[in-house]
Amino acid sequence: MTHTERAIDSISILEGSYPRDGLDKATIEAYRAALADLPPILITSGDILVDGAHRLQAYRLEGKTTIPVEVDSTMPKAPTVEQILIRSAELNARHGKQLAMTEKAKLARRLYGKSINSVTYRTSELAVKLGAGKSTVREWVRTQREDEKTERQTKALDLYLQCLTQQEIAEKLGWALRTIKEDLAECKNARSGENAPNPLRFADVWSFAECDKRFGHDFKGRIPGQIVQHALYYYTKMFDIVVDPMAGSGTTMDVCKLMLRRYRTYDLNPIRLDIHMHNILNGLPEETRGCNLIFADPPYWDMNEDQHEGSLASLTLDAFLAWEVEFAKSCKIMLAKEGYVAFLIQSQTGPSVPTDREYIDHSFEAYQRFMGVGFTPVRRISVPMPTETLTPQHIEKAREERRMLGLVRDLLIFRKR
């Protein structure tokens, strides 16, 4: 450190950088009587006070215009308030009028969790700087530690549900792997009761007139998230990995977040940042290997107006049916042992059906294809389309043609054996 003098008026004090509750008048008076014996005050190269507020005030009251100073070479020219606080606390532990315990407690709470000079100050670091015991500091910052833990657990859980490994989460958040493991275990124990659907459908007919607003966005082709929620309730457990290769507006992802299922979601044209781009015509991504449930709601042949060249919706009927076989094979490869496929499919009628067929029972045919590649059937759940989807024009035209409209839709559940 360099000893020199500065004009008192040139020395500035950053607002909020004084570690005490206020100046002590008795200390100032004692210093006024012994200016010659006082050590220099400590400043930065930018003339910002680091340590010595009582001495500076004593010199001012004595009418002095200059004061002996030392320039702290460890401090930047223009430090932050936190940098000054941690430095002054460190110096106070060595000399001068000691901070009161209440002042140290306030300082600990103010600095806890702050990154200063590449050091993150938590219990151990603050104990050293403040000259206090670790247990004492832990008690001072109990609320801050609890808030920090809650925030850390929230972030860790969110990343874990996105299928990051615990090691990746620890590195991303800057915490020890052991801490992250404990956080996730605590989250699991706290939520062991799960978020069961309410009301829960106890039979194999799941009818929903409206979409639960918590799941997905207002999106053409959006299905009620309650369908996904029931599928996950019956066929997965907490922290299982769920894959949705045709994620749309993210309905499956939102259900997974609520029910603490890990998820991987994809779409040819993602509309959310947390949905990855992938064309299901290329099979399931390799990273989905080992998943526990695959939820698929394919854009049915010739029933989706938003057809993009090279997409599933653009295929001919024969190509669509052939894709079902390839998709079933891909599911069998990627699923973990005893994993499930939940395949949502609607039967088809109307003018788009080939002239040689009046009706296509997609559920029955998909059932056969999944069986053909070795899946074991578990359940055929009726999930009828709501009657509200039928417009007056549809009804009038069907009446004229003496043709029934189709509301039959099934959720087929298969298990990998």
pLDDT given for residue 106 in this prediction: 94
* Residues 132-158 pLDDT 10s: 999 999 999 999 999 999 999 999 999
Fold of 2-140: 3.90.1530
- Is residue 9 over pLDDT 90? yes
Every domain of the chain and the residues it spans: 2-140, 146-190, 225-415
Higher per-residue pLDDT: 7 or 22: 7
* Residues 222-278 pLDDT 10s: 899 999 999 999 999 999 999 999 999 999 999 999 999 999 999 998 989 889 999
Q: How many CB atoms lie within 10 A of CB 278?
A: 21
pLDDT given for residue 302 in this prediction: 57
Higher per-residue pLDDT: 382 or 318: 382
Mean per-residue pLDDT over the chain, rounded: 90
* Residues 179-202 pLDDT 10s: 999 999 998 888 765 678 989 999
pLDDT given for residue 347 in this prediction: 84
Return the residue matching tokens 């360099």: 2
- Is residue 351 over pLDDT 90? no
How far, rounded to the nearest angstrom, does the alpha carbon of residue 338 sit from its chain's CA centroid?
29
For 225-415, which CATH superfamily applies?
Vaccinia Virus protein VP39 (3.40.50.150)
Q: Are residues 93 and 130 in contact, defined by beta-carbon separation less than 8 angstroms? A: yes
- Residue 240 CB partners (closer than 8 Å, separation 6+): 261, 262, 292, 293
User: What pTM value is reported for the model?
Assistant: 0.80
Q: Are residues 223 and 211 in contact, defined by beta-carbon separation less than 8 angstroms? A: yes
Q: How far apart are CA 261 and CA 236, in angstroms?
A: 8
Give the H/E segment covering residue 156: helix 142-161
The whole-number average pLDDT for the span 210-231 is 89
- Is residue 104 over pLDDT 90? yes
Please state at what angle helix 362-372 crosses helix 317-334, rounded to 10 degrees: 40
